[in-house]
């Protein structure tokens, strides 16, 4: 696969569900598991200058085997950074390979790669014009940077002081690594799918894991939803019996188009601020959830990719894609984060579909399949 490489003077993680910083520190966590012993001089190198523009890219010849700074891991002061990046890289390869196979193998993912002058970078893989998928993307980002406190607040869980202890106007140095994806199939009976898994640290000892996977069909298919939600319930149950109920409810709360009073789709799991256990335990949960994406989503697309549909059903799919766009541009934390910190636009907006539709005051016919879907979006249902 040919790789187009660029160097970023300033970028930001394109993990589309956003970042949140936990209120806890490393108290109680063994330094052998996660060391945060960087000196003040080392920390100074983490903070780039203020935002210097959207298109500060310069071509380079190659991308390193790891985008994490050599002194950070796996044998340096921050081994979790390299460990999480490797997990994301491996998953990006396996997931894009699986999606190419589902699509028929005639169209491949285009890969764009970039690095940053002060460390970090990313790889975007995007498939367009496939037989099954109109557009599919899987983005990896590794970022060393700093952000304004207001950008941090906009990108994280509301109502929590994320810059506690910092002076007014002081920028927040951070490290972030994440893998994010959105898949937009052509057939109205094949759902759109989104996932994002991320790891975040700030100077001062704050760290956490976050992410999740959610599904956005155009029609309700209980068998499909039982399979999708059941797959992630199994993953959650392998790590904590309370995870699925908690994270399913969190997804139903997060993916709400507030001005429509409806959810973007039919949910999944969403979690943030995971730092109350050993970091390796949180890592293993994120790893299993990420590696279960194809198992949860692939069979649904395979089942419906050749289903017959009408022009009216296609138009309804495009209307629901319009709702998807509304959520992503207005409410999605990752989009807000990227736009406020001068991120790579092509990566930030990769999640948007190629086609969408808006109709003035559209109302589904009472008793129709479309009306049933809206009901499921306004009154979240239990699937397993």
Backbone φ, ψ for residue 241 (5° rounding): -65, -15
Q: Residue 15's pLDDT is what?
A: 41
103-107, 237-241, 253-257, 334-338 — which is least confidently predicted? 334-338
56 in a structural domain = yes
User: Could you give the 3-state DSSP secondary structure of residue 329?
Assistant: helix
User: Could you give the 3-state DSSP secondary structure of residue 172?
Assistant: strand
- Please check the confidence at residue 25 and state whether its pLDDT lies above 90: no
The two three-digit tokens of residue 110, written as one number: 């285009």
383 in a structural domain = no
Backbone φ, ψ for residue 149 (5° rounding): -60, -35
Confidence of residue 193 (pLDDT cuts 50, 70, 90): very high
Give the residue-averaged pLDDT of 62-79: 84
Question: pLDDT of 135-177, one tens digit each?
Answer: 999 999 998 888 777 766 655 564 455 566 677 877 878 899 9
218 in a structural domain = yes
How many CB atoms are located within 10 Å of the residue 233 CB?
19
Upper half-sphere CA count for residue 61 (Cβ side, 13 Å): 0
Radius of gyration in angstroms for the set of CA atoms belonging to the chain, rounded to a whole number? 20
Residue 265 structural domain: 3-378
Residue 194 is a catalytic residue: yes
- Do residues 105 and 111 touch, judged by C-beta distance below 8 A? no
- Please check the confidence at residue 46 and state whether its pLDDT lies above 50: no
- Please check the confidence at residue 18 and state whether its pLDDT lies above 70: no
Upper half-sphere CA count for residue 122 (Cβ side, 13 Å): 29
Q: Residue 253's pLDDT is what?
A: 97
Residues 186, 201: Cα–Cα separation, whole Å:
38
Give the residue-averaged pLDDT of 341-350: 80
Strands 110-116 vs 3-8: parallel, antiparallel or unpaired: parallel
- What is the CA 320 to chain-centroid distance, rounded? 20
Helix, strand, coil proportions of the chain in percent (round to 5)? 35, 25, 45
Question: pLDDT of 238-279, one tens digit each?
Answer: 999 999 999 999 999 999 999 999 999 999 999 998 999 999
- Please check the confidence at residue 369 and state whether its pLDDT lies above 60: yes
- Please check the confidence at residue 2 and state whether its pLDDT lies above 60: no
Whose structure tokens read 């599904």? 215
384 in a structural domain = no
DSSP string, 71-132: TTSSSSS-HHHHHHHHHHHHHHHHHHHHHHHHHTSSS--EEEEEEETTSEEEEEEEEES-SS
Question: pLDDT of 281-328, one tens digit each?
Answer: 999 999 999 999 999 999 999 999 999 999 999 999 999 999 999 999
The helices-and-strands tally (H runs, E runs) of the chain is: 11, 11
* 201: CATH: 3.40.1500.10
294 in a structural domain = yes
Kindly give, in sequence order, each residue whose CB lies less than 8 Å from that of residue 6, ignoring residues fewer than 6 positions away. Answer: 57, 58, 59, 60, 112, 113, 114, 115
Strands 3-8 vs 133-147: parallel, antiparallel or unpaired: unpaired
213 in a structural domain = yes
Angle at 65 between CA 75 and CA 58, to 5 degrees: 125
- Please check the confidence at residue 54 and state whether its pLDDT lies above 60: no
Q: Residue 8's pLDDT is what?
A: 38
Q: Tally the domains of the chain.
A: 1
- Please check the confidence at residue 358 and state whether its pLDDT lies above 70: yes
- Please check the confidence at residue 132 and state whether its pLDDT lies above 70: yes
- Please check the confidence at residue 354 and state whether its pLDDT lies above 70: yes
Q: Residue 86's pLDDT is what?
A: 97
Angle at 117 between CA 60 and CA 199, to 5 degrees: 110
- Percent of the chain with pLDDT strictly greater than 70: 79
Q: Residue 40's pLDDT is what?
A: 39
CA torsion sign for 54, 60, 62, 67 is negative
Query: Closest by alpha carbon to 342, among 123, 114, 143, 50?
Result: 50
Residues 375, 365: Cα–Cα separation, whole Å:
12
- Please check the confidence at residue 97 and state whether its pLDDT lies above 60: yes
Average pLDDT across the chain, whole number: 83
Q: Which of 194, 227, 229, 304 is catalytic?
A: 194
Q: Bridge-partner residues for 209, per DSSP?
A: 199, 274
Alpha helices in the chain (DSSP H): 40-44, 79-103, 149-154, 222-237, 243-254, 279-290, 293-304, 311-330, 333-340, 345-348, 369-378
288 in a structural domain = yes
- Do residues 208 and 177 touch, judged by C-beta distance below 8 A? no
Q: Residue 31's pLDDT is what?
A: 37
Q: Residue 321's pLDDT is what?
A: 98
Whose structure tokens read 């207001």? 150
- What is the pTM for the complete model shown? 0.84
Q: Residue 88's pLDDT is what?
A: 98
- Please check the confidence at residue 70 and state whether its pLDDT lies above 80: yes
187 in a structural domain = yes
Q: Residue 61's pLDDT is what?
A: 55
Give the residue-averaged pLDDT of 45-54: 38
Residues 196, 183: Cα–Cα separation, whole Å:
12
């Amino acid at each position: 696969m040919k790789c187009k490489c660029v160097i970023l003077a300033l970028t930001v993680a394109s993990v589309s569900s956003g970042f949140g910083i936990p209120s806890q520190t490393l108290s109680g966590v063994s330094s052998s598991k996660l060391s945060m012993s960087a000196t003040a001089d080392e920390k100074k190198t983490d903070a780039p200058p203020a935002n210097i523009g959207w298109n500060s890219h310069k071509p380079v010849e190659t991308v390193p085997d790891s985008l994490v700074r050599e002194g950070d891991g796996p044998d340096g002061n921050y081994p979790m950074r390299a460990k999480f990046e490797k997990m994301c890289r491996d998953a990006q390869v396996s997931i894009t390979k699986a999606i190419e196979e589902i699509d028929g193998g005639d169209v491949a993912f285009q890969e764009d790669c970039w690095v940053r002058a002060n460390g970090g970078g990313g790889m975007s893989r995007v498939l367009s014009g496939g037989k099954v998928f109109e557009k599919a993307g899987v983005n990896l980002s590794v970022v060393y940077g700093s952000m304004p406190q207001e950008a941090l607040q906009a990108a994280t869980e509301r109502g929590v002081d994320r810059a506690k202890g910092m002076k007014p106007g002081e920028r927040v140095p951070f490290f972030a690594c994440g893998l994010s994806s959105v898949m937009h199939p052509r057939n109205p009976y094949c759902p759109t799918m989104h996932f994002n898994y991320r790891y975040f640290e700030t100077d001062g000892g704050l760290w956490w894991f976050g992410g999740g996977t959610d599904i956005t069909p155009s029609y309700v298919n209980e068998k499909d939803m039982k399979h999708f939600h059941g797959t992630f319930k199994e993953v959650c149950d392998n790590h904590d019996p309370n995870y699925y109920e908690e994270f399913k409810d969190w997804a139903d709360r997060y993916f709400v188009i507030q001005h429509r009073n409806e959810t973007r789709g039919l949910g999944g799991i969403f979690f943030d601020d995971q730092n109350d256990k050993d970091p390796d335990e949180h890592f293993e949960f994120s790893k299993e959830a990420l590696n279960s994406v194809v198992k949860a989503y692939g069979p649904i697309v395979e089942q419906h990719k050749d289903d017959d549909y009408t022009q009216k059903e296609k138009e309804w799919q495009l209307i629901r894609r319009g709702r998807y766009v509304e959520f992503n541009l207005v409410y999605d934390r990752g989009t807000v984060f990227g736009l406020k910190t001068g991120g790579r636009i092509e990566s930030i907006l990769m999640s948007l579909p190629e086609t969408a539709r808006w109709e003035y005051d559209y109302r589904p016919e009472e008793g129709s399949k479309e009306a049933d879907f809206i009901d499921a979006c306004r009154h979240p249902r239990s699937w397993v």
